[in-house]
Chain A
Amino acid sequence: MMNFKTSVFIWVLAVLCGAGRQSVCAAEPAASEMVDRLVDSKLDELGIPPSDICSDEVFLRRVYLDMLGTLPTPQEARKFLSSNVANRREQLIETLFERPEFADYWALKWCDLLRVKAEFPSKLWPNAVQAYYRWVRTALYENLPYDEFAQALLTSNGSNFREAPVNFYRAMPEREPKAIAGIVALTFMGTRTDQWDEKKLMGLAAFFGQIGYKGTAEWKEEIVFYDSTKSFCYPGTEKVVVPQLPDGTTVELVDHIDPRIAFADWLVNSEVFSDNIVNRIWYWLLGRGIIHEPDDIRSDNPPQNAALVSFLSQELVSSGYDLRHIYRIILNSKTYQRASIHNEGNLTDEENFSRYYTRRLDAEVLIDAICQITKTTETYSSDIPEPFTFIPENQRSVRLSDGSITSPFLDLYGRPSRDTGYLSERNNTPSAAQKLHLLNSTHIQQKIQQNKALLGMSYNKPKNKKKPQTKWGEPQEVIERMYLTILSRYPTEKETETAIAYIRESGLNRYDSAVDLVWALLNTNEFIFKH
């Protein structure tokens, strides 16, 4: 049994951890307004009229999907849609930061970038995947300042099981210094090194020329460490390469001092470091980078709105690298809250944020949404490599830590293979094969048939009868619940009429017609897209 001292200790710890996660400032109306001013002035300049602000029901669904990768439950939808509080959107955003799903969803995105997978080509192996994933998720859950997050990944030493961030240097197809430099630049600078000249790349590689790897007696344990005996030389020579920062400054190698530290210190204070992450967050939330593609930052690919990038970047630095501060600014802006419905003047705008750009749900988010609606689960496991991995049946797909564990559904819907860390690996482009699956697969059909309550069925067991009797809910109520569950909104009168007519006139029995209604709502563009 836990003694008093331990429990006090745990309590104190809980308070401290909780305190760490508390937002310093609840909302930044001025900063969000600044974002809108910067976006609007660009739109004015281009003569593009922005769309209106979206309705509460659209905002509700959108912000859940963008922040948590999760649909609101019908209860949550009812509650929010009945609120009259003036700042209800801002309040909702604050509530969602505190949800564990926030960390789940952003750990997914980060593990895409960090190529977290057990098998080819990263070959982290299952135990290290678990350790690494847990570290990343915890960092996001506790809102670890982003500079510390990067420092930890870049400069840690130790066992891949015990000092999880060292896996950064293991989750790569190749371990030569140049390949590592390429990954570092892509991850933290949003920059592709394939166009760099050799000198620049070698200069960056030299910071990673003394990383050592060694095994232990434990199965697949590996120590990643600063190996002062190693030196990184020009090929075919014994001439040691002098580390050179991407800005051109050279750094002297000092005996017994890990050069990665000098690089990480430079990095976190550089502009490109903060530009990269604020631009990525913008891309994640709005579907397009201010610099696009977001992982192709270079002088000849200028931002669509340079002032906007610098503003957000400065906000990040002045907040002490608080990523949630940036989310908050963006999510509370009018720019984020615009309708996806276009007006006469902005249908063709695909890069100035005059409307919210529609995007198909991420593979994992889509299957989780379907599972939540139908109260069903997916089964994931891997019987190669050892130790075998079996994912608990009730775990959501967003929480899959290992990119090697997949399903035909996730593959079909463009889940990234986590080979390269490029954002383009996640492919949310709709395809006919995807549509085929949603329209006509046994997989989806069986799920729909599972949730009897959603279909309007309940069981009644009268005292004198042995068998329970099926009871059907009032069509209007059943339809309302379907809409709240699937589309997070109330049906319109016309929609209710159409649905009731289908129940009464399709010639199908009540069960089949209810299945078809759920099927239809799951196949609407309104459901499949974030909008």
Chain B
Amino acid sequence: MTMNNGMNISRRDAMGLAAAGGLVLGSPMHASAVKAGKAKAVIQIWMWGGPSHLDTFDPKPEAGVEYYGPYASPIETNVSGIRIGQKLPLLAKQADKYSIIRSMTHGINAHETASYVTQTGRPVGGDVYPCTGAVVSRFKGVDAGYTGLLPPYIVMTKPQGRFSESGFMGLRYKPFATGGKPSAPVFSVEGVIQQGITEARQKGRRELLSSLDTYGSKLEGNTQFNHMNLCKEQAYELILGDAGKVFDVKNEDPKLRERYGKSDFGASCLIARKLVEAGVPYVTINYQGWDTHKKHFDIMNNKLTEMDRGFSTLLDDLQQHGLLDSTIVWWGGEFGRSPKIQWEAPWNGGRSHYGKCFSHVIAGGGFQGGQVIGASNENGMEVADRPVYPWDLIGSIYEQLGIDPNAQLPHPQGLDVRVCPTEADGVTMGGRLREIMS
């Protein structure tokens, strides 16, 4: 069928719940991946606001108290020679599963720009590029034959914001934001799960709607209305079908739920595992609350414990389910936090934004665990060895997924734009993470 703007869309496209948005603009090329990758899915733990690298995966007990503050005693992990922050004892037992990149750098200290660079793997300037989830949605979603009822790019619970996640690719590749509260007795995923409306009432409503859509019936044949009616059918497949039950954790082992923790983050990690198991290629857990300018250590004392439980259990649970080899878990925020603690007023013990050197963690999906990539200097202020830029890391993720870093992206004005930047674009490269890619 043809829309007002003259573009053809297939029925599947039209229904594209899979696409949060509408139709693809730009080139009609196939979104085929170069080769089958080891990884099928990504769980991105987005550390909104920027977590301190010193307090998490790059402790500096020798740097002096003005750097490490109350966290003087990092702990040994199950991989000899790797120590991590003292508030992460559970993750310490899983270090063989993940690798720590201690030399992440982009040098940007502003949230919006750093978020853009860290999530898109693109330097600033020119077009606004899509973030990793949107690119994966392009190459692993409906365009590439994904037929699941669940959207291919899901974020719990709110979109990351600060910039448009799908960039110039537009609405079709935006994440589906669940809304709701993952740890609540019923996680009301917006549109999918609604408490208090029985199935019988859903059906009664549906009939009522069709008998009251008087004007709609006068526009039989109108392409816009036809399109909307297809969207409605597709929506009802999800509302009345079983696919939405994936968000319900009631039937999971109570002990497992306990291990994940009863926090929203813990519940989100469990649900992320279930979503990946159900075939969803990209899940973002938008983990808020890491922009800690003030009361930094008070907040860390609670938050790191919560993170430790959820993140460590996720790794273990993925492995138990045989999913870790095919699922990349990517932990990190837009930057780290200033290694030197700001004890002066008004911060009174805070850490500010720090983009020059920070840590990210990567696990599964063909990335080897138990390694440390790069290094920061003695106080965590500078990259000392093997700088890793966001495009190195994200390019590596694409490779593991079998997405060609040089593939074309759909552009509304038909410009020739590629998945990853190269040196030819004037970008300094640190190199893909070959040392841990198998």
Partner-B contacts on A (CB < 8 A): 119-121, 123, 173-174, 192, 194, 287-288, 293, 340-342, 347, 350, 357-360, 384-385, 404, 406, 408, 411-412, 414, 417, 419-420, 422, 424-425, 427, 429-437, 439-443, 445, 492, 494-495, 498-499, 502, 506, 508, 512, 516-517, 519-521, 523-526, 528-529, 531
Q: Mark B1-37, 1 if CB is under 8 A from A, else 0.
A: 0111110000000011101111101000000000000
The reply to whether B194 and A287 form a contact with Cβ atoms under 8 Å apart is no
B126 touches A499 (CB 8 A): no
Neighbouring B residues of A440 by C-beta, 8 Å? 191-192, 194, 197, 202, 235, 239
Within 8 Å by CB of B22, from A429, A445, A492, lies A429
Contact indicator A123/B211 (Cβ below 8 Å): no
Known: A414-B171, A433-B176. A525 touches B219 (CB 8 A): yes
Among A431, A442, A512, the most chain B Cβ lie within 10 Å of the Cβ of A431
Segment with Cβ contacts to A, from B39-47, B107-115, B301-309: B107-115
Contact B191 A439 (CB under 8 A): yes
Q: Does B259 contact A (CB under 8 A)?
A: no
- Say whether B219 contacts A342, CB under 8 Å: yes
Q: Which of A340, A408, A440, A528 has the most CB of B within 10 A?
A: A440
Q: List 26 A-B contacts (CB under 8 A).
A: A119-B162, A174-B125, A340-B219, A341-B218, A341-B219, A347-B221, A406-B161, A411-B174, A417-B167, A429-B21, A429-B23, A430-B22, A433-B176, A439-B236, A440-B239, A442-B188, A442-B195, A506-B208, A508-B204, A517-B208, A520-B205, A520-B208, A524-B216, A525-B216, A526-B216, A531-B219
What's the least CB distance linking B279 to chain A, in Å?
17
Chain A residue nearest to B2 in the complex (CB): A350
Bound: A242/B171 CA distance, A: 41
Residues of the B chain whose Cβ atoms lie less than 8 Å from the Cβ of A526: 213-216
Highest count of chain A CB atoms <10 Å: which of B4, B151, B167, B197 = B4
What are the residues of chain A within 8 A of B125 when measuring CB–CB? 173-174
Q: Known contacts A411-B177, A433-B191; decide if A384 and B216 are in contact (CB<8 Å).
A: no
Please measure, in the bound complex, the distance between the C-alpha atom of A414 and the C-alpha atom of B170, giving whole angstroms. 8
Assess A508 versus B171: contact at CB under 8 Å? Given A194-B415, A433-B20, A524-B215.
no
Complexed CA–CA distance, A495 and B214 (Å): 8
Expressed in whole angstroms, the minimum distance between the Cβ of B8 and any Cβ of chain A is 13
Bound-complex Cα distance A506 to B156 (A): 36
Is A439's CB under 8 angstroms from B214's CB? no
Contacts of B227 in A (CB 8 A): 429-430
- B212 touching A498 by the CB < 8 A rule? yes
Distance between Cα atoms of A342 and B159 in the complex (Å): 40
Number of B interface residues at 8 Å Cβ cutoff, please give it. 82
In the complex, are the beta carbons of A434 and B188 less than 8 A apart? no
A123 touches B412 (CB 8 A): no
Q: Is the CB of B222 closer than 8 A to any CB of chain A?
A: yes
B-chain residues with CB within 8 Å of residue A439 when the two chains form the complex = 191, 232, 235-236, 239
Q: Is B280 an interface residue (CB 8 A)?
A: no
Given A121-B116, A194-B415, decide whether A417 and B219 contact each other with a Cβ distance below 8 A.
no
When the two chains form their complex, are residues A525 and B228 in contact, meaning their CB atoms are under 8 A apart? yes
CB distance from A492 to the nearest CB of B (A): 7
| B348 interface hit (Cβ, 8 Å) | no
A119 to B112, CA, bound (A): 6
Of A340, A419, A425, A429, the contact of B3 (CB 8 Å cutoff): A429
Does A524 lie within 8 Å of B6, measured CB to CB? no
Instruction: Tell me which residues across on chain A come within 8 A of B23, comparing CB atoms.
Output: 429
Write the chain B residue with the least CB distance to A487: B215
Return the chain B residue nearest A524 by Cβ: B213
Chain B residues numbered 182-221 whose CB sits less than 8 Å from any CB in chain A: 188, 190-192, 194-195, 197, 201-202, 204-205, 208-209, 211-216, 218-219, 221
